[in-house]
Chain A
Amino acid sequence: MQKNFAPSAKKRPDRATWISAGIIFFIYVVVFALEQFIPPTTMLFTVLKKGATYALVAVSMNLLNGFTGLFSLGQAGFMLIGAYVYAIFSIPGEVRARVYQYFTPAINFTLPVIPAMILAGLVAALFAFLIGLPVLRLKSDYLAIATLGFAEIVRAIFQWKKLGPVTNGSNMLKDYPTFNDFNIVNAEGKVVLYLSTLLPFVIAGVCIGIIMLLINSTYGRSFKAIRDDEVAAEAMGVNLARHKQLAFAISSFFAGVGGAMLAMFTNTVQAKGFTSAMTYEILLIVVLGGIGSVSGSCISAFLFVACSEWWLRFLDQKQVIGTFEVPLLRNGFRLVVFSVIIMVVVLFYRQGMMGMRELPDLFRKKRGKEAAK
């Protein structure tokens, strides 16, 4: 994670950057250690795996909404494309016929996991490029509506019966390699080394690292220029159409990879799961974490997933304390709480948790204080 300003022409990481790098490394070590000692069925690992996936998707959305200033709501659509491409190309040949029980599979070869994931990203980016041509001419709300519409259309098309030989119609895709297949098993079928939680962390970490590098490169700077002032950016020689197109395609690439990760997490893929509600969840993560902060998106992704899957589950069930039955608690109440949270955040904490700061900024002295002296 580079800092955003440099005291000299040569960028040199300062102490705060090293501390942040240390924290991130420590988190990876802890995740690896926990996995070896705690039973894998614990809720904690579900949260960590899904959290890592959502962190990547949230960061990819932040790249577009927070750093380039393009308000797009097509994330679920690109995730769906990524998830399907990954699943279709990585189902092993011997189970393919069983998965496509009503169709004759059109694609009959299998890619290893990593190439399949990259392909998932590339196909999502290709779709983004194509729909970006007309859609990116739109501004703010109109762009959001158009991309939201795109995501819905994709969801419908993938369930179309005529595409069955490729997408398996509205039936689910399954039996492709998942996170659990990466645990190292000995001859008796006993797991000797758990890697199923570390893997999503590594994939998400690499992807988010690349996004960070991009944001701090000259291209990232022009994305931010577009966000701050389109007219000025264009007058400074930033080709608006090209850079918006780039940001859109890159964001979708990582959303596609995130979709593939989600497929690995859920073990099965079905188009009907990728609703616009999923996009809103990710948008909620981005807003809570801070629009324009990569670390904010990561932190809030884990918090959000932990709340929705684990900590706030009790809100959906009848709770009795002694003889007193807590009112209001019933199925779906959790979502009401989330709605209230987002309203409070939008009204009172518009900056989210991190604002536009990154992790290293937390360890630096406030610049305002220095300036006041």
Chain B
Amino acid sequence: MSETVLRLNDVTMQFGGVVAVNNLTMEVRRGEIVALIGPNGAGKTTAFNCVTGVYEPTNGEVWFGNTLIASNHPSGKMKKLYAGENAGKYEKVVKITPDRITKMGIARTFQNIRLFKTQTVFENVLIATHLRKTSNLFSATFRVNAREERRMREEALRLLDVVGLLSVRDEKATSLPYGKQRRLEIARALATGPSLLLLDEPAAGMNPQETDDLGRFIRRIKDEFRLTVFMIEHHMNLVMDISDRIYVIDFGKLIADGTPAEVQGNPEVIQAYLGVDEE
């Protein structure tokens, strides 16, 4: 069994009285494509945000390889309000900002595309190479480090080539069609040099043909960049087709996990997706 890249231990995220993610424990191993699925509002994106540092989980911990990137226990007002489990288990408080987590090697895309609107396709990717710079403010401003600037540009162009957007590099990012914007988001995420790629509904709004292409594309970049992929997706065909393992959550709680075949046959999953027969 290969090593664990990402591990969530009892992660609970509670907003006021609402428990968005409830006691989620899961892991992603190196080289896998793991999918997180569940009905709308099940807490999938919230779980992502706990991993990338956008949210601080109310309780539980997140490990990236051997680094603890988030750990918390209910405190302050939450002490009384807390409705989850394992409240006393995680003593440590670790909070790392999203930019540092990205630097460690976790890159992400967004559910509702968040490109840099006023910038071109090329610049969108170029910005994401900023975090690997070695030049400081002065050497960057006065072009002392021109070689690095050149390397960044080459890297951005190469990535655009990989995702097939080289021909539209000077277009405004927002003028691209939807599917290409999604690809651009992936290219931008790759430019940060990640080892773990989080994709938040990469196929949203795509037709079956585009979805098929996307599946092949995700596999290809996974191999080419030696990535581990963790994704949220609603298109069941895509999920069943490319994932090695699937986690299913409903109302923030993990209800099933396993290979696509196992999950498909799980009665609880069917119930969560289709609803229960009242009789």
Contact = CB atoms under 8 A, between A and B. Distances in A.
A234 B192 contact: no
Interface stretch (A55-63, A222-230, A324-332): A222-230
- Most A CB contacts (10 A, CB to CB) among B54, B99, B103, B137 go to B99
B186 interface: no
Interface stretch (A26-34, A88-96, A237-245): A237-245
A218 interface: yes
Contacts of B153: 6, 9-11
Contacts of A104: none
A218 B135 contact: yes
Interface string A165-206: 000000000000000000000000000000000000000000
Nearest to A249: B137
A219 B116 CA distance: 15
Contacts of A9: 150, 153-154, 157
Contacts of B131: 236-238
Given A213-B143, A225-B116, A236-B127, A231 B54 contact: yes
A246 B136 CA distance: 12
B124 to A, nearest CB: 9
A37 interface: no
A236 B169 CA distance: 19
Given A236-B131, A371-B171, A224 B140 contact: no
Interface stretch (B5-13, B17-25, B107-115, B226-234): B107-115
Contacts of A240: 97, 99
B197 to A, nearest CB: 12
B31 interface: no
A235 B108 contact: yes
B177 to A, nearest CB: 13
A189 B34 CA distance: 83
B130 A238 contact: yes
A221 interface: yes
A231 B133 contact: no
Given A6-B122, A228-B119, A237-B102, A218 B110 contact: no
Contacts of A342: none
A246 B100 CA distance: 18
B141 A213 contact: yes
Contacts, number: 123
A368 B268 CA distance: 52
A217 interface: yes
B157 to A, nearest CB: 6
B44 to A, nearest CB: 17
A7 B141 CA distance: 21
Contacts of A227: 118
B52 interface: yes
Contacts of A235: 52, 54, 98-99, 102, 107-108, 110, 114
A219 B141 contact: yes
B141 A228 contact: no
B99 A5 contact: no
A228 B130 contact: no
Contact of B130 (A4, A213, A236): A236
Interface in B182-199: 188-189, 191-192
A166 to B, nearest CB: 30
A130 interface: no
B149 interface: yes
A217 B138 CA distance: 10
Interface in A1-36: 4-11
A214 B103 CA distance: 23
A228 B116 contact: yes
B250 interface: no
Contact of A4 (B107, B120, B188, B192): B120
A292 interface: yes
Nearest to A236: B128
A233 B119 CA distance: 13
A5 B141 contact: no
A352 to B, nearest CB: 14
B128 A229 contact: no
A369 interface: no
A292 B175 CA distance: 20
Contacts of B140: 214, 217-219
A125 to B, nearest CB: 12
Nearest to B175: A371
Contacts of B98: 234-235
A25 B108 CA distance: 46
A213 B142 contact: yes
Contacts of B170: 5, 7, 367
Contact of A237 (B130, B169, B175): B130
Contacts of B32: none
Contact of A224 (B54, B103, B114, B118): B118
A5 B103 contact: no
B165 interface: no
* Top 9 A-B pairs, shortest CB-CB distance: A237-B131, A228-B116, A232-B114, A237-B102, A9-B153, A217-B140, A9-B154, A236-B128, A234-B98
26 contacts: A4-B120, A5-B169, A6-B122, A6-B153, A7-B170, A213-B143, A217-B149, A218-B130, A219-B140, A221-B119, A221-B127, A222-B130, A224-B116, A225-B119, A235-B102, A235-B107, A235-B114, A236-B102, A236-B127, A236-B128, A236-B192, A237-B99, A237-B128, A238-B127, A356-B118, A367-B171
Given A213-B142, A221-B119, 17 more contacts: A5-B170, A6-B122, A213-B141, A217-B140, A218-B130, A219-B130, A219-B137, A221-B130, A231-B54, A232-B115, A234-B102, A235-B54, A235-B98, A236-B102, A237-B128, A237-B130, A371-B175
